[in-house]
A and B are shown apart, each in its own frame.
Chain A
């Protein structure tokens, strides 16, 4: 068990809808990362937060947004969903040291129909 909790495990929704994915990092970790995994794109970095502030941005669409709350949990909001947004969304957390590995949750599988 990595200590990173993601909810829900599965999400099925229709095109045009909006969903929220939730992540609780490991105890003590201040950094939260969001990744998208799909068959054609592989594992793509979306965005990172550190102690409530956005730290780095990757290939995140404008329709997607995220935030990290004072209790350090994070939410990823996906709106105007398209079929191509169907993927596994992972949250990871890490310590502040550059050598700290990322610890991943089990992901949320999003299916857009």
Chain B
């Protein structure tokens, strides 16, 4: 069965510093990987996805993610954090042969001024 792990419940970073939110996955076959962000009282918003090709994918709001097949990781990154980036971030995987997404438990990102 597929699974997604986000090892950090919370990540704290100062505004202007780089941020990383970690995600590892376990799935058979070639996965499709996604990152979502959730602001309070809102639904999940799609940030970016990895399907195939370049291991570094760029998404919305200056976020990017690096796919590492050997480490089965898909970490979310941003070179310079903003206070407005503070939110709950979810990593998700869609295995081959499946149409649904399996989500990690989420990581709260807090960016301090």
Residues of A within 8 A of B (CB): 2, 4, 31, 33, 35, 42-43, 45, 48, 50, 55-56, 58, 90, 92, 94, 98-99, 101-107
Contact = CB atoms under 8 A, between A and B. Distances in A.
B14 interface: no
Contacts of A90: 43-44
A104 B43 contact: yes
Interface of B: 32, 34, 36, 41-46, 49, 51, 90, 94, 98-106
Contacts of B46: 101-103
Nearest to B48: A101
A45 B100 contact: yes
A42 B90 CA distance: 10
7 contacts: A42-B104, A42-B105, A92-B44, A98-B99, A101-B34, A101-B46, A102-B34
B28 to A, nearest CB: 15
A93 to B, nearest CB: 11
A42 B106 contact: yes
A101 B36 CA distance: 10
Contact of B94 (A55, A58, A98): A98
Contact of A56 (B32, B44, B45, B98): B98
A41 to B, nearest CB: 9
A1 B21 CA distance: 25
B29 to A, nearest CB: 11
